[in-house]
A and B are shown apart, each in its own frame.
Chain A
Amino acid sequence: MIALDAIRETLGTAEPWVESHGAHWLNPGTATIRELAKLMNSVSARFITITAYELPASEGFRLEYHWDLEGRLLGFPFEIAGNSIDSIYDLCEAADWIEREVHEGFAIDFTGRDYEPLLLREGDKPGVNLREAPAPSDPAPAAQGPKEVAK
Chain B
Amino acid sequence: MSYKIPMGPYHPGLEEPYKLDMICEGETVRDAELHIGFNFRGIEHLAETRNYVQVIALMERVCGICSFIHTLTLCQAMEQLAGVEPPPRAKYIRIIMAELERLHSHVLWAGIASKLMGFKTMFMTCFALREKVMDVLQAISGNRVNYSMNCVGGVNRDIEDPIALVPMIDELEREMMRTIIPIFTTSSTARSRCAGIGILTHEKAISCAVVGPTARASGIAQDLRRDAPYAAYEEMKFEVPVEQAGDVRARLFVRALEIIESCGIIRQALARMAPGEISSAPEKLVFAAGTATSRVEAPRGEVMYSVSWKENSRNPARVHVRTPTYANMPAVRWMVRGARLADTPLIQASIDPCYSCTDR
* Residues of chain B in range 25-39 having any CB-CB distance to chain A below 8 Å: 35-37
Contact indicator A22/B322 (Cβ below 8 Å) = no
- Flag whether A73 is at the interface (Cβ < 8 A): yes
Looking at chain B, what size class is its interface with the partner chain?
A: 35 or more
Asked if A121 and B295 sit within 8 Å, CB to CB, the answer is no
Q: Which residues of B contact A68 (CB under 8 A)?
A: 222, 302
B77: contacting residue among A22, A98, A117, A120, CB under 8 A: A22
Contacts of A92 in B (CB 8 A): 209
Given contacts A49-B322, A51-B306, contact A23 B359 (CB under 8 A): no
User: Does residue A35 face the partner (Cβ distance < 8 Å to B)?
Assistant: no
Given contacts A22-B295, A120-B359, contact A93 B37 (CB under 8 A): no
Residue of B nearest to A21 (CB): B292
Partner of A21, one of B222, B293, B302, B359: B293
A117-B21 Cα distance, complex, nearest whole Å: 13
Q: Give min CB distance, A21 to chain B, whole Å.
A: 4
Within 8 Å CB of A23, what residues of B? 293
Q: Say whether A72 faces chain B, with CB atoms less than 8 Å apart.
A: yes
Smallest beta-carbon distance B204→chain A, Å: 9
Interface residues of A in 35-79 (CB under 8 A from B): 44, 46-49, 51-53, 64, 66, 68, 70-73, 75
Q: A97 an interface residue at 8 Å Cβ cutoff?
A: yes
CB-contact partner of B208 in A51, A93, A121, under 8 A: A93
**Contact partner, B37, options A70, A71, A120, Cβ 8 Å:** A120
Q: Which residues 103-125 in B have Cβ within 8 Å of A in the complex?
A: none
B37 and A122 contacting across the interface, CB-CB below 8 Å = yes
Q: Is B224 an interface residue (CB 8 A)?
A: yes
Q: A94 interface residue, CB < 8 Å from B? A: yes
Q: B320 and A51: CB pair below 8 A?
A: yes
A119 proximal to B (CB < 8 A):
yes
Closest A residue by C-beta to B230 = A22
The residues of B that contact A118 with a CB separation of less than 8 Å are 37
List B residues 285-320 near A (Cβ within 8 Å): 290-295, 302, 304, 306, 308, 317-318, 320
CA distance A64 to B295 in the complex (A): 15
Query: How many angstroms from the CA of A20 to the CA of B37 in the assembled complex?
Result: 33
CB-CB under 8 A from A66, the residues of chain B are 293, 304, 306
**Residues of chain B from 213 to 241 with CB closer than 8 A to chain A in the complex:** 222, 224, 227-228
A residues near B42, Cβ cutoff 8 Å: 129
**CB <8 Å contact, B37 and A121:** yes
Query: Which residue of B has the minimal Cβ distance to A118?
Result: B37
Please report the C-alpha to C-alpha distance between residue A48 and residue B295 in the assembled complex, in whole angstroms. 11
Cα of A66 to Cα of B207 in the assembled complex, Å = 15
CB <8 Å contact, B37 and A21: no
A96 contacts B291, C-beta separation under 8 Å? no
Query: How near does chain B come to A91, taking the closest CB pair, in angstroms?
Result: 11
- Per the bound structure, the CA–CA distance linking A20 and B308 in Å amounts to 13
A130 close to B (CB within 8 Å): yes
Chain A contacts for B264, CB-based, 8 A: none
Q: Can you give 6 contacting A-B residue pairs, CB < 8 Å?
A: A20-B290, A21-B77, A46-B222, A49-B322, A105-B44, A117-B35
